Amino acid sequence: MLLAQEAKPVLGVLAQGQVADFVVVLLLGIFIWVLISRARTGRKIPEIKKIAGLEAVDEAIGRATEMGRPVDFIPGIQSIDEPQTLAALGMISHVAKQCARYDTRFLALTCDPLPYAVIEEITRQAYLEEGRPDAFNPDDVRFLSAEQFAFTSSVIGIFERERPAANIMVGSFYAESMILAETGSFQGMIQIGGTANTHQLPFFVAACDYALIGEEIYAASAYLSKEPVLYGTVVGQDWLKMLVWLIILVGSVMATVAPDNTWLKDLLQL
């Protein structure tokens, strides 16, 4: 008869099967801390390579400025606890600042009340930092609806009536992605779409002028702000990706030449 053995917590706190998870998070934290410290003390850290979709953000704002039409930003349809929404918030500050600088109307359209409140704060701050607090219009940051397709239909209405020249969609998108991107494309907007939801990426690639694929949206705020401290977080993530790359290569070679030797696999499920 087999008796279930009670799993003992590791070091008294970590459940069995979560040690590797903890080590990974710790390692990522150390990488980021080291790189941020280096950046803060003025030492050199690696540069981020050119990302076409992010290079195009200023181009899109410039085009909207020339045409005298608004720039709109949609931070996905999920709440503020979603990492992709947080990545979008990092971009909004830059876009709002550029719009304030060039006196271009900035529209932010949200599907969740929490990002709405945060975006209003970020936008207000961006206008203040650019010395244009008077130009900030709270009515241009809008919460439309928490219902996915009511939000979508409302955005289409705004596209029709307010005719933005540039449409930036970065965040967590679902079935509305194609409808929004297609409407924007139909109206001749310059469009930048980015999401880490792989099932929606094809639509942004097909209908937007520039697409930010997956991870690229997480590098956005560092890339746009050119802030060395933020660069540190991206470089830290990169180091972890390189380590994972190496682990997969070693794991595959081991699975080929010594299939019975599973120590690496076991290590990752500690």
Partner 1 sequence: MNLSTNPGIWAQAICILAVYTYLYKDNPIWRFAETTYLGLATAYWFVFYFHNYIVVFVKDNVMQNGEWHYILAIILGLMIFFRYVPSLAWLARYPMSFWVGFGTGYVLGFAPAVWLTQVRTSFIALNSVENVLIVIGILATLTYFFFTIAKENPVVGGIAEVGKWYIMIALGSAFGNTVLYRWNLFLSRANTIIVDWLGVTP
Sites of contact with partner 1 (CB under 8 A): 17-18, 20-21, 24-25, 46-49, 51, 79-83, 86, 113-114, 117-118, 120-121, 144-147, 149-150, 153-154, 156-157, 160-161, 178, 198-199, 201-203, 205-206, 213-216, 219, 234-235, 238, 241-242, 244-245, 247-249, 251-256, 259, 264-265, 268-269
Q: Alpha-carbon distance 10 to 13, whole Å? A: 6
CB atoms within 10 A of CB 174: 15
Q: Alpha-carbon distance 256 to 260, whole Å? A: 10
Query: Is the CB of 15 or the CB of 37 nearer to partner 1?
Result: 15
In whole angstroms, how close is the CB of 114 to partner 1 at the nearest point? 6
In whole angstroms, how close is the CB of 145 to partner 1 at the nearest point? 5
Query: Is the CB of 65 or the CB of 110 nearer to partner 1?
Result: 110
In whole angstroms, how close is the CB of 227 to partner 1 at the nearest point? 15
Per residue, the 3-state secondary structure of 172-187, as one string, reads ECCCHHHHHHHHHHHC
In whole angstroms, how close is the CB of 66 to partner 1 at the nearest point? 24
Query: Is the CB of 25 or the CB of 103 nearer to partner 1?
Result: 25
Q: Alpha-carbon distance 189 to 183, whole Å? A: 9
In whole angstroms, how close is the CB of 73 to partner 1 at the nearest point? 18
Contact status, residue 167 vs residue 158, Cβ threshold 8 Å: no
Query: Is the CB of 8 or the CB of 49 nearer to partner 1?
Result: 49
Residues 204, 208, 209, 215, Cα dihedral to 10°: -30
In whole angstroms, how close is the CB of 184 to partner 1 at the nearest point? 14
Chain-centre distance for alpha carbon 174: 15
Query: Is the CB of 103 or the CB of 162 nearer to partner 1?
Result: 162
Alpha helices by DSSP H, the chain = 19-40, 52-67, 83-101, 113-129, 148-162, 176-186, 201-207, 220-225, 228-257, 263-268
In whole angstroms, how close is the CB of 42 to partner 1 at the nearest point? 18
Query: Is the CB of 190 or the CB of 222 nearer to partner 1?
Result: 222
Q: List, in sequence order, every residue forming a beta bridge with 71; answer none if it has no partner.
A: 106, 166
Query: Is the CB of 73 or the CB of 203 nearer to partner 1?
Result: 203
Q: Are strands 190-195 and 141-143 parallel, antiparallel or unpaired?
A: unpaired
